[in-house]
């Protein structure tokens, strides 16, 4: 086995004898069911658990800001636990791996769309009207221009939303006030989700079968659902040992958080390299935390080794650029010049160029396949009943993009502008999705990267009307913010699960579409209910600042930023060329795209430890040693997730802060 080619499933299990009327299909050696009441049961279970998943995501945001989100995993784990006695009572009635996989896929999609997208859409709907008094950038720059379809433009009807203390029954009586806004946001985000789903459907065969992307993030969901919850993971002493140790540490730390006299074992933030340096240029290295975060490090173990190394190397390249430029007199700000007023080393622009390069390379590698797809679209060739026809997926993509343009026109934006803006976002989304399927990073945080940056850097803001700036910034902010819970990678992972476990691609396509709408609508409703209970807050603090920044100081195109983006693009093409000509070349362009943006900062230290451990075990203990290490890593993740479910549950029940395993805290971000 070469480094980076780890299997994504454990050893195969023997399929049970087929039972009549089950409609079993096999993929590998795992039993599957297709169609019939069992699939319907999975859909029903997913819908019944959806409100809990959404509430967890909305109330405890610390549990869904990384690649393998906690709510979908824990809810699937709960279903697996309930399936154990059910299997003993009646194997015929027990849930199959296919049903558990479909359940996990739908919960992952629901959780993803109900998370940070809602933070930047429905959560903004009330803020300017309720909290904009006295803020000139809101009163003069946003409220006269923002779309009334998406935002409240005055306080009428919102007076009771600020005080809190209202029960769910009261929130339900206010739905006529909120539902038009939630429906409009659901339509807007639903069209974006449909466009991404259609792209994933068109690229399915290329990415899952021809390029055989490894999907490292799926290791845990596959392991816990294997054989309907009776897979090898549950018989592994290495898994249970790691689970017990990690669960004990997190429970101890949780009690220590509540009762400080109890000692704790710190496995989160343990120091800051940046604090060691007090004078320039070294002080401009910025915040560089020393932290382990065991579950994130364990997820990092499943990354291909060259990609794991690349993330670490390019993280230090970014830090080195900051120190070098500081020595040349360029003051370094937040992670090296991000935001809409970039400064050297233009880290966001380098990252943007890298993502564009990754998207171009994805298309170039798939050019032969895309010719085949286009031929099928033109001819309308019949396909297997279980597959989504390429003509249908292409029609859905075109319809969704035109729908976005039409929606933007209704909100006062030019049709062509919204189509181009959405297209730029989809280019980034394609690159991020393939990166996640190849790399499987513990988190894919790419802060403040979006089409806004392209407009400011390439077009500049001279001559753009203030009304247009206000409308696009408020309406499309969710395409620019942070991307930790971006739905498109979860869509592709769900499609991969369907591919691997015999689920009809048409059924999974439908499941993803339904889950997207459910997640967005429920996420909006849940946000409103929580606001009435706890009191509304001003969540749209960033959009007025962006509007003011773009309108008060018009600026021309930025040649230096364009050069940095070109450098990132050229760097990706050069590395891809080197990897083609030198098979042993260890640096991967995907690591450059992630490492040049904020996110790896949290986990660089833990990833170094994992890289050393992984290379050592593979070098000296081979496949057997790696399999034991893999089981231990799964145990670490499960131990932390189960402990976090307990502390999150307590926080939700008592409305008090508890110990988090996450990179963020429940009180302050680096708690």
pLDDT of 39 above 50: yes
Kindly state the percentage of the chain with pLDDT values over 90: 70
Mean pLDDT of 659-671: 81
CA–CA separation, 435 vs 600, rounded Å?
14
Q: What percent of the chain has pLDDT over 70?
A: 93
Omega of the bond leading into 434 within 30 degrees of 0 (cis)? no
pLDDT per residue over 438-451, tens digit each? 989 999 888 888 99
| Residue 8 clears pLDDT 60, i.e. is over it | no
Mean pLDDT of the chain: 89
Q: Are 32 and 97 in contact (CB under 8 A)?
A: yes
Retrieve residue 537's tokens: 């807050």
Cβ atoms of 572 and 353 within 8 Å: the answer is yes
Does the pLDDT at position 127 exceed 80? yes
Distance CA 292, CA 302 (A): 16
pLDDT beyond 50 at 11: no
User: What's the rounded mean pLDDT across residues 279-292?
Assistant: 89
How far apart, in Å, are the Cα atoms of 87 and each of 20, 430, 432, 623? 17, 40, 39, 32
**Entry pTM:** 0.91
Look at residue 382 in the predicted model and tell me its pLDDT: 75
pLDDT in tens, 377-423: 998 877 787 899 999 999 999 999 999 999 999 999 999 999 999 99
Among the ranges given (595-599, 612-616, 617-621, 633-637), the one the predictor scored with the smallest mean pLDDT: 595-599
What pLDDT score does 668 carry?
Answer: 65
Segment 225-243 shows an average pLDDT of 93
Render pLDDT for 73-93 as a digit per residue (tens, 0 to 9). Answer: 999 999 999 998 888 888 888
Chain centroid, CA 667 distance in Å: 23
Query: What is the number of alpha carbons within 13 Å of residue 662 lying toward its C-beta?
Result: 27
Q: What's the pLDDT score for residue 26?
A: 32
* pLDDT band per the 50, 70, 90 thresholds, residue 277: confident
> Which of 30-44, 276-290, 427-441 is least confident?
30-44
Mean local confidence (pLDDT), 112-131: 93
Separation in Å, CA 50 to CA 56, 72, 409, 519? 10, 10, 33, 8
Across 33-42, 553-562, 594-603, least confident range:
33-42
Residues 6+ apart with CB under 8 A from 320: none
Does the pLDDT value for residue 335 go beyond 80? no
Residue 38 scores a pLDDT above 70? no
pLDDT value of position 284: 85
Mean pLDDT of 567-582: 92
CB 540 within 8 A of CB 128: yes
Average pLDDT value for residue range 183-192: 97
Residue of higher predicted confidence among 41 and 420: 420
Instruction: Give residues with Cβ within 8 angstroms of 392, minimum separation 6.
Output: none
pLDDT at 274: 85
């Amino acid at each position: 086995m070469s480094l980076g080619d780890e299997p994504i499933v454990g050893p195969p299990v023997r399929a049970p004898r087929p039972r009549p009327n089950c409609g079993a299909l096999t993929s590998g050696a795992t039993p599957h069911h297709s169609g019939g009441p069992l699939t319907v049961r999975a859909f029903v279970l997913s819908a019944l658990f959806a409100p809990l998943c959404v509430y967890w995501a909305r109330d405890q945001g610390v549990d869904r800001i990384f690649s393998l989100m906690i709510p979908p995993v824990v809810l699937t784990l709960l279903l697996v636990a309930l399936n154990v006695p059910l299997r003993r009572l009646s194997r015929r009635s027990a849930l199959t791996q296919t049903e558990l996989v479909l359940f996990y896929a739908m919960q992952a999609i629901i959780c993803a769309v109900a998370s940070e997208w809602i933070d930047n859409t429905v959560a903004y709907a009330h803020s300017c009207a309720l909290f904009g008094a006295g803020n000139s950038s809101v009163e003069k720059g946003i409220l006269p221009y923002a779309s009334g379809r998406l935002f409240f433009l005055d306080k009428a009807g919102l007076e009771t939303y600020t005080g809190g203390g209202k029960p769910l029954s009261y929130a339900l009586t206010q739905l006529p006030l909120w539902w038009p806004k939630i429906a409009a946001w659901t339509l807007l985000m639903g069209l974006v989700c449909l466009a991404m789903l259609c792209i994933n459907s068109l690229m399915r065969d290329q990415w899952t079968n021809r390029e055989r992307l490894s999907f490292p993030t799926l290791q845990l969901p596959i392991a816990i659902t294997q054989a309907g919850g009776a897979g090898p993971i549950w018989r592994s002493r290495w898994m249970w040992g790691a689970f017990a140790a990690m669960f004990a540490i997190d429970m101890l730390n949780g009690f220590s958080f509540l009762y400080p006299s109890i000692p704790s074992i710190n496995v989160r933030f343990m120091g800051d390299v940046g604090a060691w340096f007090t004078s320039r240029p070294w002080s401009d290295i910025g915040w560089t935390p020393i932290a382990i975060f065991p579950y994130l490090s364990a997820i990092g173990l499943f990354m291909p080794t060259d990609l794991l190394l690349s993330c670490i190397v390019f993280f230090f390249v970014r830090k080195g650029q900051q120190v070098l430029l500081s020595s040349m007199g360029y003051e370094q700000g937040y992670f090296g010049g991000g935001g809409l007023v970039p400064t050297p080393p233009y880290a966001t622009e380098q990252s943007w160029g890298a993502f564009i390069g990754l998207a171009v390379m994805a298309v170039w590698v798939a050019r032969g396949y895309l010719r085949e797809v286009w031929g099928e679209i033109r001819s309308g060739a019949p396909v297997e009943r279980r597959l989504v026809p390429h003509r249908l997926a292409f029609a859905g993509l075109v319809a969704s993009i035109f729908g976005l343009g039409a929606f933007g026109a209704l909100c006062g934006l030019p049709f062509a502008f919204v189509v181009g803006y959405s297209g730029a976002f989809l280019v980034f989304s394609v690159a991020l999705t393939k990166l996640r399927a190849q790399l499987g990073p513990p988190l894919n945080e790419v802060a403040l990267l979006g089409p806004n940056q392209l407009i400011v850097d390439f077009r500049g803001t001279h001559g753009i009307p203030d009304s247009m700036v206000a409308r696009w910034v408020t309406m499309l902010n969710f395409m620019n913010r942070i991307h930790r819970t971006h739905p498109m990678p979860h869509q592709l992972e769900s499609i991969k699960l369907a591919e691997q476990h015999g689920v009809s691609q048409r059924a999974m396509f439908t499941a993803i579409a339904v889950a997207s709408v459910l997640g967005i609508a429920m996420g909006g409703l849940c946000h409103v209910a929580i606001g009435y209970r706890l009191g509304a807050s001003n969540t749209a603090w960033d959009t007025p600042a962006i509007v003011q920044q773009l309108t008060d100081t018009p600026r021309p195109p930025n040649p230096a930023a364009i050069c940095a983006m070109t450098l990132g693009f050229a760097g990706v093409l050069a590395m891809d060329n080197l990897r083609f000509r030198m098979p042993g070349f260890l640096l991967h362009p995907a690591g450059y795209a992630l490492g040049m943006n904020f996110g790896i900062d949290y986990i660089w230290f833990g990833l170094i430890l994992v890289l050393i451990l992984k290379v050592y075990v593979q070098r000296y203990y081979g496949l057997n040693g790696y399999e034991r290490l893999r089981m231990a890593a799964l145990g670490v993740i499960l131990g932390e997730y189960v402990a976090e479910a307990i502390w999150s549950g307590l926080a939700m029940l008592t409305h008090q802060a508890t110990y988090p395993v996450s990179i963020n805290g429940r009180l302050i971000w680096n708690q």
